[in-house]
C-alpha cells in the first residue's frame, strides 16, 4: 500500500516523503483512516512499529481540515516527549503547525513562557502537565483530542492518578486514542471508562521474533566486566547499548569500560539533567559515542536506530522491560543482536570484587531465549 492511498493532504504527503517513509506500516494502514474518520481507538502496538507517525499523521490531517482543534499527547517519559514532539513537528511542518512539549526536568519558567504562545499540539508527561494546569498555564477544556501513548508504561511508572485526573477534566466530546504495548485488564478498564465506543486495533508481533538474534550467556558476577569487554571487542564498529540496573551501576560500568581502554563510552541515567541526557542521545546518534551504558531510561520510546548490539549486563526485571530494551535494535527490519547476561551466583557484597557462594567453573553455556506471543 502507498501513503497516497490513505487520501492524505499534499502537505502531509510531502513531509512523509521528506522523512523517507516509502510505505505505511501495519499500524499506520489500520489506524490512520479511522483517526481521520474520528473513531476512538485502542491500539495494541509496540514502539518501533511506526505508531507515533500513525497518530501523528491522522491527527495532523484532522487539525489541517479543521475537524480537530487542539491535541494533547500524553507520554510517560521526558525522552519520549522530546522524540514525539520532534516527529510531530516534522510531520506537520508544511501545515505550519505549532507543536510544544512539556516535561519535568526543564525549567518551569521557560515552559510557562513557551505555553503562553499558541499551539496546535501539546506533548506532555502527566506530572508536569498537572503542575502546569494547577498554575493555570494549560487549560484542559481547550483540547478536543487526546492520545495516551504507551499507556501501560504510564500506569506502570505510577502516573495512574495524574492520567485519570487529566482524562476526567478533558471535554467529554473529544477524540481519544490509546496506544499500548499490552492491553491487559487495567488498560481495558481505562479504555472502557475513558475511550467510549472504541475500536480495537492489534498489530503484529514485535520484531524480536524475526530480525533480532537473542543470546543468553551464563556468567559469574565477577566475570561480567571481562565478558562484556570481550563482547565489545568482537563487535568493533557496532553501536552498542549496554543496560545496567542502577544509576550507580551505570556510572561504575562506564568507568570500568574506560579503564579497559574503550573510548567514546557514554552514559544515560536518571540523575543526569535533561539537557545532558538530550546531548548524550544526540552524541550516540551521531556516532560520537559508540557505546552507551544506560539504565532503563533508555529502553522506551527512544528513536535510537541502528543500534547493532544490546547487552543486558543486568538482566531486565521483567519480560516487558526486556522487550522494550530489545526494541532499540532491529528497528524497521534492520538486523540486531541482543545478549543477556544471566548470573546465578550471589552478587559481590562490595565493589572490591570479593566473591562468595558459587565459585565453580564459569559455564558460558549459550541457549536461545524464546519470547513467544505477548
Ligand atoms: P515508533 O513506533 O513511533 O517508535 O516508530 C519507530 C521508527 O519508525 C521511527 O524512527 C520512525 O521514524 C520510523 N517510521 C515510522 N513510520 C515509518 C514508515 N512508514 N516507514 C519507515 N519508517 C517509519
Q: pLDDT by residue (tens digit) across 25-68?
A: 999 999 999 999 999 999 999 887 899 999 999 999 999 999 99
226 and 93 in one domain? no
In the predicted structure, residue 220 carries a pLDDT above the cut 80: yes
Pocket test for ligand 1, best of 17, 19, 50 (most atoms within 8 A of CB): 50
* C-alpha 308 to ligand 1 mean position (Å): 17
The answer to whether residues 365 and 313 touch, using CB atoms and an 8 Å cutoff, is: no
Cα(313) to ligand 1 centroid in Å equals 27
The CB density around residue 347, as the number of other CB atoms within 10 Å, is: 13
Q: In this structure, are 216 and 142 located in the same domain?
A: no
Residues 6+ away with beta carbon under 8 Å from 315? 322, 340, 341, 342, 343
C-alpha 109 chain-centroid distance: 27
Residue range 311-332: mean pLDDT, rounded: 78
Q: Is residue 235 part of a domain?
A: yes
Its pTM stands at 0.64
* Ligand 1 atom nearest to 49, measured from its CA: 2
List, for residues 264-298, the tens digit of each pLDDT value: 999 998 888 878 888 898 899 888 999 999 998 76
Check pLDDT > 60 for residue 372.
Answer: no
From ligand 1's centre to the CA of 125, what distance in Å?
21
Is there a single domain that holds both residue 127 and residue 237? no
Q: Where are the alpha helices (DSSP H) in 6-107?
A: 10-19, 26-37, 51-65, 78-91
In the DSSP assignment, the letter for residue 221 is G
Which residues form the domain of 56?
3-202
| Protein residue whose Cα sits closest to atom 10 of ligand 1 | 303
Grouping H, G, I as helix, E, B as strand and the rest as coil, residue 340 is: strand
Expressed in angstroms and rounded, the spacing between residue 47 Cα and the centre of ligand 1 is: 9
> 316 CA to middle of ligand 1, Å?
25
Each residue of 331-340: pLDDT tens digit? 665 678 899 9
Residue of 313 and 303 predicted with greater confidence = 313
Q: How far apart are CA 325 and CA 314, in angstroms?
A: 12
d(CA 214, CA 367): 9
For position 47, which CATH number holds? 3.40.50.300
Cβ–Cβ under 8 Å, residues 36 and 210 = no
Same domain, 252 and 163: no
Q: Tell me, what's the pLDDT at 86?
A: 85
Residue 355 lies in a domain: no
Q: Is the pLDDT of residue 346 over 90?
A: no
The b/e string for 79-106 (b: 16+ C-beta within 10 A; e otherwise) is: bbbbbbbebbbbbbbbbebebbbbbbbb
Q: Are residues 178 and 222 in the same domain?
A: no
Main-chain phi, psi angles of 258, to 5 degrees: -65, -40
pLDDT digits (tens, 9 = 90+) for 230-273: 999 999 889 999 999 999 999 999 999 999 999 899 999 888 88
192 and 227 both lie in a single domain: no
271 and 128 together in one domain = no
Atom of ligand 1 nearest to the CA of 46: 2
- Is 359 a domain residue? no
What pLDDT does residue 351 have?
42
Q: Are residues 138 and 247 in the same domain?
A: no
- Average pLDDT over the chain reads 86
The number of distinct structural domains making up the chain is: 2
Report residue 160 as a C-alpha cell: 495512574
Q: How far is the CA of 347 from the centre of ligand 1 (A)?
A: 39
Confidence category of residue 18, pLDDT binned at 50, 70, 90:
confident
Domain contains 362: no
Pocket of ligand 1, beta carbon within 6 A: 21, 23-25, 28, 47-53, 303, 305, 331-332
Same domain, 52 and 188: yes
How far away, in angstroms, is 48 Cα from ligand 1 center?
6
Q: Among residues 97, 204, 72, 199, which one has the least CA distance to residue 148?
A: 72
Distance 363 CA to ligand 1 centre (A): 40
Shared domain check, 61 and 150: yes
Out of 29, 281, 332, mutate this one to test ligand 1's pocket (max ligand atoms within 8 Å of CB): namely 332
Taking CA atoms only, the protein residue closest to ligand 1 atom 15 is 50
Q: From residue 73, how far is each of 34, 44, 158, 175, 270 by CA, in Å?
A: 18, 17, 18, 12, 23
185-195 pLDDT, tens per residue? 889 989 999 99
370: in domain:
no
The alpha helices in the chain, defined as continuous H runs, are 10-19, 26-37, 51-65, 78-91, 108-116, 126-134, 151-156, 160-169, 185-194, 224-233, 247-259, 274-285, 319-326
Instruction: Give the pLDDT confidence of 306-319 residue by residue, as tens digits.
Output: 688 999 999 988 76
And the C-alpha cell for 158?
Answer: 505510577
pLDDT band with cut points at 50, 70 and 90 for residue 139: very high
Counting from 1 in the atom list of ligand 1, the atom nearest the Cα of 25 is: 19
For residue 245, the model assigns a pLDDT of 93
Mutate to test the pocket of ligand 1, among 3, 15, 21, 58 (most ligand atoms within 8 A of CB): 21
Model confidence at 11: pLDDT above 90? yes
What percent of the chain clears pLDDT 70, i.e. is strictly above it? Answer: 86
Please tell me the predicted confidence (pLDDT) of residue 359. Answer: 30
SS3 (DSSP) at 103: coil
Q: Could you tell me the pLDDT band of residue 368, with boundaries at 50, 70 and 90?
A: very low
Pair 117, 260 in one domain: no
Amino acid at each position: 500500500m502507498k501513503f497516497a492511498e490513505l487520501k492524505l493532504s499534499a502537505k502531509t504527503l510531502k513531509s512523509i516523503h521528506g522523512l523517507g517513509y516509502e510505505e505505511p506500516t501495519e499500524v499506520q494502514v489500520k489506524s490512520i483512516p479511522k483517526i481521520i474518520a474520528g473513531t476512538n481507538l485502542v491500539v495494541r502496538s509496540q514502539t518501533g512499529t511506526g505508531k507515533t507517525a500513525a497518530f501523528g499523521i491522522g491527527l495532523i490531517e484532522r487539525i489541517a481540515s479543521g475537524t480537530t482543534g487542539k491535541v494533547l499527547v500524553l507520554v510517560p517519559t521526558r525522552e519520549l516527549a522530546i522524540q514525539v514532539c520532534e516527529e510531530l513537528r516534522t510531520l506537520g511542518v508544511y501545515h505550519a503547525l505549532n507543536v510544544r512539549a512539556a516535561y519535568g526536568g526543564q525549567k518551569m519558567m521557560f515552559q510557562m513562557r513557551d505555553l503562553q504562545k499558541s499551539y496546535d499540539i501539546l506533548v506532555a508527561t502527566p506530572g508536569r502537565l498537572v503542575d502546569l494546569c494547577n498554575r493555570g498555564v494549560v487549560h484542559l477544556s481547550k483540547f478536543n483530542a487526546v492520545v495516551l501513548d504507551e499507556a501501560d508504561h504510564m500506569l506502570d511508572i505510577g502516573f495512574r492518578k495524574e492520567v485519570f485526573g487529566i482524562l476526567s477534566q478533558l471535554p467529554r466530546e473529544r477524540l481519544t486514542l490509546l496506544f499500548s504495548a499490552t492491553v491487559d485488564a487495567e488498560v481495558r478498564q481505562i479504555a472502557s471508562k475513558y475511550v467510549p465506543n472504541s475500536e480495537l486495533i492489534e498489530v503484529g508481533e514485535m520484531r524480536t521474533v524475526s530480525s533480532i538474534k537473542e543470546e543468553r550467556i551464563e556468567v559469574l558476577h565477577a566475570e561480567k566486566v571481562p565478558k562484556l569487554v570481550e563482547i565489545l571487542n568482537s563487535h568493533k564498529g557496532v553501536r552498542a547499548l549496554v543496560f545496567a540496573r542502577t544509576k550507580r551501576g551505570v556510572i561504575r560500568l562506564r568507568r570500568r569500560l574506560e579503564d579497559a581502554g574503550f573510548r567514546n563510552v557514554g552514559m544515560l541515567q536518571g540523575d543526569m539533567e535533561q539537557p545532558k541526557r538530550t546531548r548524550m542521545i544526540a552524541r550516540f546518534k551521531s556516532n560520537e559515542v559508540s557505546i552507551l551504558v544506560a539504565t532503563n531510561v533508555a529502553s522506551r520510546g527512544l528513536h535510537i536506530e541502528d543500534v547493532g548490539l544490546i547487552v543486558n549486563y543486568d538482566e531486565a526485571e521483567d519480560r516487558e522491560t526486556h522487550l522494550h530494551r530489545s526494541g532499540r535494535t532491529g528497528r524497521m527490519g534492520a538486523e540486531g543482536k541482543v545478549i543477556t547476561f544471566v548470573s546465578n551466583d550471589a552478587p559481590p557484597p562490595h565493589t572490591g570484587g570479593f566473591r562468595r557462594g558459587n565459585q565453580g567453573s564459569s559455564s558460558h553455556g549459550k541457549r536461545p531465549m524464546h519470547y513467544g506471543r505477548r
